Amino acid sequence: MSGNGMRLDAIERISQGRDVRLPPAKPVSEIFGSHVFTLQKMKAQLPKESYDSLKNTIETGAQLDPNVAAVVADAMKNWAISMGATHYAHVFYPLTGATAEKHDSFYNPDRKNGGVIAKFSGRELTQSEPDASSFPNGGLRSTFEARGYTAWDCSSPAYIKETANGSTLCIPTAFVSWTGEALDKKTPVMRSTAALDRAARRVLKLFGHKSIAPITSSCGAEQEYFLVDRGFYLARPDLVLAGRTLFGAMPAKGQQFDDHYFGAIPRRVQVYMQEVEQELFKLGVPVKTRHNEVAPGQFEIAPIFETSNVATDHQQLVMITLKEVARKHGFACLLHEKPFDGVNGSGKHVNWSLGNSTQGNLFDPGDTPHANAQFLVFCAAVIRGVHLYGKVLRAMVATAGNDHRLGANEAPPAIMSVFLGDQLSDVFDQIRKGGATGSKKAGMLDIGVDSLPVLPRDAGDRNRTSPFAFTGNRFEFRAVGSAQSVASPITALNTIMADSLDFVADRLEEEMNGGKKLNAAIQTVIQEILRKHSAAIFNGDGYSRAWVEEAARRKLPNLRTCAEALPVLRDKDVAELYSHLRVLTKTELESRFEIYAEQYVKSVDVEAKLCVQMFKTQIYPAAVRWTGELAENIACAGRAGAKLDKSVVTTLARLTEKARKLVAKIEKSLASAKDEPLEKAMAERGRLLAAMGELRETVDLVEREMPDDMWPLPTYQEMLFLK
Ligand code: ADP
Ligand code: MG
């Protein structure tokens, strides 16, 4: 009967509509952070001097006292064991973008008394040595130079990871080579935060601030994802191995009704979301928002923003938790940027701001932005940064998956620009013309129905088509891919901003040394920035053709694919930017280029091989079987005097043959494809992707001609609409 029993089984299970039931949920106030070794817990369990010393390290980045580490380790171990932990793991974030962990037991043989004894030294807490040679290092290490170290990041809290069979104490760490080079994504985030602090502090001092707490950036990352029933997922080799469908005809209904966005959340999905949230609450991740996204089967989860380093680690936990809990609920969670052709893909909007505990949010314009010189200076620094180094932002979101999304009329274009909105654009316009004297008012919104409240209206509308939009008190970087770690985009934002703030501080100092008062100096410097860098400001429709042309006139780079965007990391000015701010050395940056380029090449190769395999083992056999059967049956009917049109047979045969030839072509390019030099390899993979696209179009036409019971793959209709 059916070409694929799994499809029918999955449909049968879905039709029974069973939800996974959890024990009644405890109040959030009770579970929030229950699995985290929080500052409160440390305060209760550590001697006062040790606690104060650790807190100082966490808050100011001061050197960690090894004696304190020993005391903390002991307290951490006792807490972890009381939570059922038997092991501890240094968790780190290699350049694959994934999360890595090496587990060790607390227990050692007790040589004196027999049995075992639980031990966890300060040294074990602060340092561990996973073999570095098996992680991508982009030429930073040879295989024979294998040493790598993980180092405890005490500013990101340790937590307990629970499974049905026990618990593990997880310790966030930085991962560096024996020579001190960053092999991970966390180290650059921390280094860029330090650079940002140094530069922002200089500017704040010029504004006369005396007490300035450490400045960090904050990040709130909105994560989009798809859910498909696990039965369908497991029957699709492309979803399992590549995370996206390589074939699949669009069903009669797609997202044309716009009826999914913010729609009522399907019950089974909501049950799943609630468990995800409970797990994240335990881990201290402040998740806040849940809703349906634009495409059928697409959803979003967003936490409240936190300091970038912690938010980055928490973002990794969000992705892991979404995937793990999905399995339990009979779903697969797809984080890929473009799992389905023909409907929207997924992104991860990174909301980013700067601030500290003494000066607050430095991107907060207040009610009268024109009079808020400090805010305007920070904003101008952003404009300069995006204009000079938009290409770096673009490079840091370049992945094979994101290539399918950026610039595809559903996601921001690959051209990096800043959206300021009406109010701010107006203020900057005034400054450009001589001086700002007023701000457009926010005002009230009268809905015209007496029983409805009068709503305060924001001073400007939103723009969903800008890659980098000011949204009231933060910037929203909307080009980040859904499967990506937010670490590299955040590092880039921090680094670019540090550079711009240093520039601003230098220029203000110069002007003031030349005799200008602060306000006059500010006016001069902002005007200068606007004169040189306004090209980066764009408030119009970022999806339009006209913008692509206008951006070209403005000489803004339009780096459409990885092959164009990643080589930016080799540009001299970019190496200089990262190295002079001590975020990444030239060698470290070069290693990033190599690793990201290799990842791109490898993922395209995997997809191409999968195309060939799926075609040969599933699609071609089904198509040939049906063509033969159809031809025979038409002939048979003809003998019985019933004349049936044969054109379906010829259409099918033509399409199948066309697809077979395309597959042969893909196989040939795969066999001859080279991996070096990387720029060439990436361009080659671009051509391979084009061939795969042509194959896909042809196969999707075959699918439309096939009887449902013979089609070997779960269909788009099943995956997108059956929940
Ligand atoms: P949207 O309307 O853009 O979809 P959401 O409510 O889904 O907004 O998400 C907005 C994100 O921005 C949240 O993670 C929120 O915590 C974060 N955010 C709010 N204020 C700031 C800020 N000052 N700095 C960084 N992130 C912020
Ligand atoms: Mg949102």
At 8, the amino acid letter reads L
Closest C-alpha among 665, 703, 656 to residue 687:
665
285 lines ligand 1 (CB under 6 A): no
475 lines ligand 1 (CB under 6 A): no
Give me ligand 2 centre to Cα 249, in Å.
29
Residue 72 lies in a domain: yes
Specify whether the CB–CB gap between 566 and 415 falls below 8 A: no
Q: Whose CA is nearest to atom 6 of ligand 1?
A: 289
Specify whether the CB–CB gap between 473 and 460 falls below 8 A: no
Tokens of 574: 């970019």
What angle in degrees, to the nearest 10, is found between the helix axes of 186-206 and 308-328?
140
Read off φ and ψ for residue 107, nearest 5 degrees: -95, 135
Residue 137 lies in a domain: yes
Residues 123-135, mean pLDDT to the nearest whole number? 84
Q: How far is CA 437 from the centre of its chain?
A: 40
Closest C-alpha among 594, 417, 575 to residue 495:
575
Give me ligand 2 centre to Cα 723, in Å.
22
Q: Report residue 449's pLDDT band, with 50, 70 and 90 as the boundaries.
A: low
Give the ligand at the shortest distance from the Cα of 474: 1
- Which stretch of 18-27, 55-64, 201-210, 225-234 has the lowest confidence by average pLDDT? 18-27
Q: Whose CA is nearest to atom 24 of ligand 1?
A: 353
430 lines ligand 1 (CB under 6 A): no
Residue 568 DSSP code: G
Distance between CA 323 and CA 337 in Å, rounded? 15
307 lines ligand 1 (CB under 6 A): no
Give the ligand at the shortest distance from the Cα of 288: 1
> Are β-strands 455-456 and 468-470 bridged in parallel, bridged antiparallel, or unpaired?
unpaired
pLDDT of residue 2: 43
Q: What percentage of residues in the chain have a pLDDT greater than 70?
A: 96
Of residues 258 and 597, which shows the higher confidence score?
A: 597
Please name every residue paired with 177 in a beta bridge, in sequence order, or none if there are none.
Answer: 148
pTM for this model (two decimals): 0.95
Tell me the per-residue pLDDT of 258-303, one tens digit each, with 9 for 90 and over. Answer: 777 777 888 889 999 999 999 999 999 999 999 988 889 999 999 9
45 lines ligand 1 (CB under 6 A): no
Residues 78-102, mean pLDDT to the nearest whole number? 94
Report the b/e string of 185-203 with b at 16+ CB within 10 A.
bbbbbbbbbbbbbbbbbbb
CATH number for 51: 3.10.20.70
Residues 477-485, mean pLDDT to the nearest whole number? 97
Residue 60 lies in a domain: yes
The pick from 299, 351, 364, 468 for probing ligand 1's pocket by mutation, whose C-beta has the most ligand atoms within 8 angstroms, reads 351
Q: Whose CA is nearest to atom 17 of ligand 1?
A: 220
Residue 228 DSSP code: E
304 lines ligand 1 (CB under 6 A): yes
Number of domains in the chain: 1
Nearest-atom number in ligand 1 for the CA of 364 is 23
- Which stretch of 346-360, 439-453, 478-492 has the lowest confidence by average pLDDT? 439-453
Distance between CA 345 and CA 402 in Å, rounded? 9
Residue 17 lies in a domain: no
Q: Whose CA is nearest to atom 14 of ligand 1?
A: 220
Residue 95 lies in a domain: yes
Residue 11 lies in a domain: no
Q: How far is CA 428 from CA 216, 461, 688, in A?
A: 26, 17, 46
Q: 528 CB contacts (<8 Å, ≥6 apart)?
A: 507
Give me ligand 1 centre to Cα 545, in Å.
29
Query: What's the number of CA atoms in the CB half-sphere (13 Å) around residue 210?
Result: 0
Give me ligand 2 centre to Cα 302, in Å.
7
Give me ligand 1 centre to Cα 440, in Å.
23
Nearest-atom number in ligand 1 for the CA of 473 is 23
Residue 536 DSSP code: G
222 lines ligand 1 (CB under 6 A): yes
Tell me the per-residue pLDDT of 183-216, one tens digit each, with 9 for 90 and over. Answer: 999 999 999 999 999 999 999 999 999 999 999 9
Residues 135-141, mean pLDDT to the nearest whole number? 73
Give me ligand 2 centre to Cα 305, in Å.
12
289 lines ligand 1 (CB under 6 A): yes
Distance between CA 297 and CA 225 in Å, rounded? 8
Read off φ and ψ for residue 355, nearest 5 degrees: 175, 180
Domain interval for residue 89: 32-184
Residues 432-455, mean pLDDT to the nearest whole number? 69
Residues 501-529, mean pLDDT to the nearest whole number? 96
Residue 26 lies in a domain: no
Please name every residue paired with 361 in a beta bridge, in sequence order, or none if there are none.
Answer: 355
177 lines ligand 1 (CB under 6 A): no
Q: Whose CA is nearest to atom 8 of ligand 1?
A: 222
Tokens of 326: 């999905």
E-state strands within 178-215? none
353 lines ligand 1 (CB under 6 A): yes
Specify whether the CB–CB gap between 107 and 117 falls below 8 A: yes
Q: Report residue 458's pLDDT band, with 50, 70 and 90 as the boundaries.
A: low
Residue 223 lies in a domain: no
3-state secondary structure string across 586-626: HHHHHHHHHHHHHHHHHHHHHHHHHHHHHHHHHHHHHHHHH
